[in-house]
Structure 1
Amino acid sequence: MNDYLWLNWLIMAASMIGLLWLGWKSCGAMHQNAEDESGFLVAGRSLGPLVGAGTIVATGYSGWGFMGSPGVAYQFGAVELLGNFMFAPAMVIAVLFFARFLSSRAEAMGSCTIPEYAARLHATGRLGRVVQAVAALMTIVLLLVFLTSQIKAVGMLAAGWLDLPEAWGATLMIGVIILYTVLGGMLAVAWTDALMLSGMLAAAVIICAQIFGDLSPLALVSELRAVDAALVDPATAEPYGKHPGAVFMVLPYAFMFTAVLPYMSVRFLAFRPDVNFSKVALFVAPFACILSLIPIVGLYMRVRMPGLEAADQAMPAYLQTFLHPALGGFITLCILFAMKSTANSLLHTVAAAASHDLRRALFPGRENPAATLAINRAAVVVFGLVGLAMMLYAPPFLLSWLGILGTGTLLAALVGPIFVSSFWLGNGWGALAAMAGGFVTSGGLLLWSDAGWVVGPLVGCLVSSTLYVLVSLATFGISRRVEAPA
């Protein structure tokens, strides 16, 4: 590998120049699209179908898809291939049946973030500011946890690839992310995501071509059965649950993941008002399906190298053993792209929650376009450095566990105010109860039970939805609904 270290640095330098150039270009386009905060927060609502689809898929299929899921497939078998594939139809369903509704309603209310959307939908005055502040605080705390895990993951991979200490690798990666996000906000995030997705798709195609060039799908299944029949004919759906059908619970989870989580659903607010979301779905579907094939690496490695000490080594061992170092270096860059596409979205969302939502909740009516843009940009720098510091000084942790804890708990907290409100509109007290109930339930189950990584958040979603309806009904005499925009 050291013989090709110079090539790795050359590939990395070229990619960094490309990302920073896109950030600089997006800065000019951002100011053309909008003169207020919406330019930085939602790209001036200017995204078209292709770039919009690219940023949705790139953000949803993070480094877990390239690093974690092959390890799960190596250990548990083909069930992970099915579980990973559930994200493709879930994203398509969210785009087809929820994106237009959320986008139109948010535009009508002038909402530029998900906490702001929840607040304006449910309450006015002081109660509305409380709803916005609570949603913003939950977003900051829980997504900062996930951001820390992403910075650690990207730092570990970059360090090994570029022969750097882990802290230096993480600093280099988060530094680049901060720079282009500060320049162009959501537009820079979306444009760089679209570029990074092209690399991720190319990597997936290269991997599948090599694997199926060596073993046909039928031969791979046959070889897996010879190793362990349970790898292709499992009696359970481990790690998703004991019952064989538990893997299908990933579908509703992935749908809620796309439709409700602020760093995903805020993309729906950034589309042009005239965008045809059916066309967006036509791009999302093949992109997501191609990336869903990545766990095949784990199955292939279980046949070719069945004695790995750690299942998570499936992808690194594959790149080192079965691909030319130049191709391995390119795919490593694409895995870094996958991680960075999620990290930049998390950073932008956390910064927006602090610089926009908390500011408006605590200091309503104080608006100065130049000052607010400076605050938005400063928040990106501050939270990028905070995430880096948390990564450097945090005790050892399981990366995927932190991701589930942050996203699953936030999903459960917001499902009532964001998703259930699409069918039945409650009030501010119901929204607050739903956020508190989902937070406590999902967080408690994930931290102190063995309910499972999907079950915990879904139970939290059920509790959140129930509280949203019941508390709203009980308090309509105190706080009436806000009339929702048509």
Structure 2
Amino acid sequence: MLNWTLLLVSASAMFFLSWLSMRASGDKDESGFLVANNSLGPFVAAATIIATGYSGFVFMGAPGVAYQYGSFELYSNVFYTPAFLVATVFFAGFLRRKAQRMGSRTISEYIANSHSDGAAGRWLRAISAIIIVLLLSVFLVSQIRAIGLLMSGWLGVSSNTAALFVTLLVIGYTIFGGLRAVAWTDTVMIIGMVGASCAIAYVVFVQVGGGDLIASLHSIDPELANPSTGAPYGDSTLSSFLVLPYAFMWAAVLPYMSVRFLAIKKDVSMARVGIWVAIFGLLLNFTPLAGLYARAYFPDLGTPDLAMPTFIQDAFGPVMASVITLFILFAMKSTANSLMHTISTAISYDIRHALGVKSGFFSRMGFNRLMVIAVGVMAFFAMAYLPPVMVLWLGVLGNGTLMASLFGVSLCSTFWQGNSAGALASIVTGFATSAFVLLGTDWGWVQGPLLGCVVSAVTYVSVSLLTREPAGKVATESPLG
């Protein structure tokens, strides 16, 4: 009863915030739904960036990886904060200013406007939007699965029932106010997420003792306490440094992250946003400790992704366990609503415009909201038939491959302008490279996406140079053709 009460009270609060955001943006204002009318201040912007980035993969995936591979995940997790900080302070401003000059409301629209305003631009917009839909749907499925695993024991229902309930809940408050609703609810959620992370640190360092935990891990397997490899990120322990560029490109390239940069007010200093990003990020770096605790005292779990629920049940009393679980659900819901918003936007706005449909029912807010419902329902049914797989790996597959696909046309194009041929080629080669390495080789989890980003950038520049029209060609042509 306590758990259900907490969930319903928090759900009511989320719906109320979403309703307020709808009133603030206007029911018929598509700009409000897509980019919150460029109204986010530094605190809210930082809150939604971190709440979205530090999501189910941090609270469920990272403890699962720590349970499976040991303390190396704790070292690797530290690099997310500086990566997000660099992306916010040194890249977000360029992207925001360029997008505002071109009137771009989504990343696919930004990509198309940057490279062509004709048929090639529409093709580019459609292809990038379709890839966003496919790959972010993979990540959304992993988020819903993580939610189901965590909530099943908490509410005393099956994982599918729990996932369905929260999926409907997230759909409900996302359809009201679009990105503004997502950002406002994320701001509430980040407070709970920070509280949960600090509670984990208190249990491990104060109640248990870091030394005792390491000794317990060492008695099970010395590799857990002092890893000699960088698994699952690579063979060398230096592989942890690969997380830094990976996380930077995560924040800068992935559409559901970078669209938040477009929503920040024009007069807001990105340095002020960066300060809050650093504070939130540093306070959320304790979550892998829960996985180490679970491995030390519960070494025979059926799946590593049960590490966090097991830790919560053992480390806290009933009331505190319920509150901490609710805060962790906040983390996963913050990313789920962002993914639903981004995927539905790609369908209802980018693909629609690429097809030339700019009027009628399909151009109204009702269609945007209908797509949110369709995306959420699709993701739930996909999750129900998902074979056993680690949540974090599934997230890497979707996010990493999308990151490699869009690296050239989003990050590189901000600093060096290519053409539509280079953009199309870089999307295809980045996608193929990352997908092949992740699915067809035994390389580490970050190597495939990073290699895909390199291939995407090289392809973008080289193909653009090879297909660029010679200087002066247009000027020497006859006006009659």
The TM-score, its normalising length taken from structure 1, stands at 0.93
Say if 1:150 and 1:310 are closer, same or farther in 2 by CA, change over 3 A. closer
Aligned counterpart in structure 1 of residue 419 of structure 2, from 422, 427, 430? 427
| Stretches of structure 2 lacking an aligned partner (at least 5 in a row) | 473-481
Q: Name the residue aligned to 1:90.
A: 83
Aligned counterpart in structure 2 of residue 42 of structure 1, from 35, 48, 53? 35
Say if 1:74 and 1:456 are closer, same or farther in 2 by CA, change over 3 A. same
Write the mapping of 1:63-462 to structure 2, written as runs, cut at 5 A.
63-218=56-211, 220-221=213-214, 224-225=217-218, 227-308=220-301, 310-363=303-356, 366-367=358-359, 371-462=363-454
1:474 aligns with 2:466: yes
CA distance in 2, matches of 1:216, 1:150: 31
Secondary structure of the residue that 1:234 maps to in structure 2?
coil
CA distance in 2, matches of 1:180, 1:155: 19
CA distance in 2, matches of 1:282, 1:124: 37
The TM-score, its normalising length taken from structure 2, stands at 0.93
CA distance in 2, matches of 1:393, 1:9: 26
CA distance in 2, matches of 1:360, 1:182: 20
Say if 1:396 and 1:224 are closer, same or farther in 2 by CA, change over 3 A. closer
Conserved in 2, the CA contact under 8 Å of 1:203 and 1:334?
yes
Say if 1:83 and 1:172 are closer, same or farther in 2 by CA, change over 3 A. same
| Superposed displacement of residue 218, structure 1 | 4.8
| Superposed displacement of residue 234, structure 1 | 2.3
CA distance in 2, matches of 1:225, 1:171: 40
Say if 1:131 and 1:445 are closer, same or farther in 2 by CA, change over 3 A. same
Q: Name the residue aligned to 1:9.
A: 4
CA distance in 1, matches of 2:56, 2:399: 15
Root-mean-square deviation (CA, aligned residues, Å) is 2.0
Say if 1:14 and 1:417 are closer, same or farther in 2 by CA, change over 3 A. same
Conserved in 1, the CA contact under 8 Å of 2:426 and 2:455?
yes
Say if 1:129 and 1:479 are closer, same or farther in 2 by CA, change over 3 A. farther
- Describe the superposition over 1:331-385 as per-residue Cα deviations: whole angstroms up to 9, x where unpaired: 1111211111111111000000001101111015x24799432221111111111
| Superposed displacement of residue 406, structure 1 | 1.0
| Superposed displacement of residue 314, structure 1 | 2.4
Conserved in 2, the CA contact under 8 Å of 1:429 and 1:479?
no
| Superposed displacement of residue 393, structure 1 | 3.7
Secondary structure of the residue that 1:279 maps to in structure 2?
helix
Amino acid in the other structure paired with 1:401 = W
| Superposed displacement of residue 146, structure 1 | 1.4
Q: Name the residue aligned to 1:3.
A: none
- Describe the superposition over 1:17-46 as per-residue Cα deviations: whole angstroms up to 9, x where unpaired: 1111111111001129xx642110000000
Greater shift in the superposed pair: 198-207 or 291-300: 291-300
Amino acid in the other structure paired with 1:12 = L
- Describe the superposition over 1:152-173 as per-residue Cα deviations: whole angstroms up to 9, x where unpaired: 2212322221112333222211
Secondary structure of the residue that 2:231 maps to in structure 1?
coil
Q: Name the residue aligned to 1:483.
A: none
Conserved in 2, the CA contact under 8 Å of 1:31 and 1:39?
yes
Secondary structure of the residue that 1:272 maps to in structure 2?
coil
- Describe the superposition over 1:307-339 as per-residue Cα deviations: whole angstroms up to 9, x where unpaired: 545433322222111210111111111121111
Amino acid in the other structure paired with 1:410 = L
- Describe the superposition over 1:163-194 as per-residue Cα deviations: whole angstroms up to 9, x where unpaired: 12333222211111111111000001111111
1:25 aligns with 2:17: no
Secondary structure of the residue that 2:26 maps to in structure 1?
helix
| Stretches of structure 1 lacking an aligned partner (at least 5 in a row) | 1-5, 481-486
Conserved in 2, the CA contact under 8 Å of 1:438 and 1:460?
yes
Conserved in 1, the CA contact under 8 Å of 2:234 and 2:445?
no
| Superposed displacement of residue 225, structure 1 | 4.6
CA distance in 2, matches of 1:102, 1:416: 14
1:60 aligns with 2:53: yes
Conserved in 2, the CA contact under 8 Å of 1:240 and 1:452?
yes
Conserved in 2, the CA contact under 8 Å of 1:434 and 1:468?
yes
Amino acid in the other structure paired with 2:26 = H
Say if 1:288 and 1:117 are closer, same or farther in 2 by CA, change over 3 A. same
Amino acid in the other structure paired with 2:204 = I
Secondary structure of the residue that 1:431 maps to in structure 2?
helix
| Superposed displacement of residue 262, structure 1 | 0.4
Amino acid in the other structure paired with 1:27 = M
Conserved in 2, the CA contact under 8 Å of 1:90 and 1:252?
yes
Greater shift in the superposed pair: 424-433 or 233-242: 233-242
CA distance in 1, matches of 2:6, 2:471: 58
Conserved in 2, the CA contact under 8 Å of 1:36 and 1:369?
no
Say if 1:183 and 1:202 are closer, same or farther in 2 by CA, change over 3 A. same
Conserved in 2, the CA contact under 8 Å of 1:227 and 1:303?
yes
Say if 1:478 and 1:427 are closer, same or farther in 2 by CA, change over 3 A. farther
CA distance in 1, matches of 2:43, 2:338: 18
| Superposed displacement of residue 293, structure 1 | 1.1
Conserved in 2, the CA contact under 8 Å of 1:118 and 1:132?
yes
Amino acid in the other structure paired with 2:9 = A
Amino acid in the other structure paired with 1:203 = A
Secondary structure of the residue that 1:242 maps to in structure 2?
coil
CA distance in 2, matches of 1:311, 1:388: 22
| Superposed displacement of residue 298, structure 1 | 2.2
Aligned counterpart in structure 2 of residue 464 of structure 1, from 456, 463, 477? 456
**Identity %, equivalent residues:** 47
Conserved in 2, the CA contact under 8 Å of 1:53 and 1:280?
yes
CA distance in 1, matches of 2:238, 2:422: 33
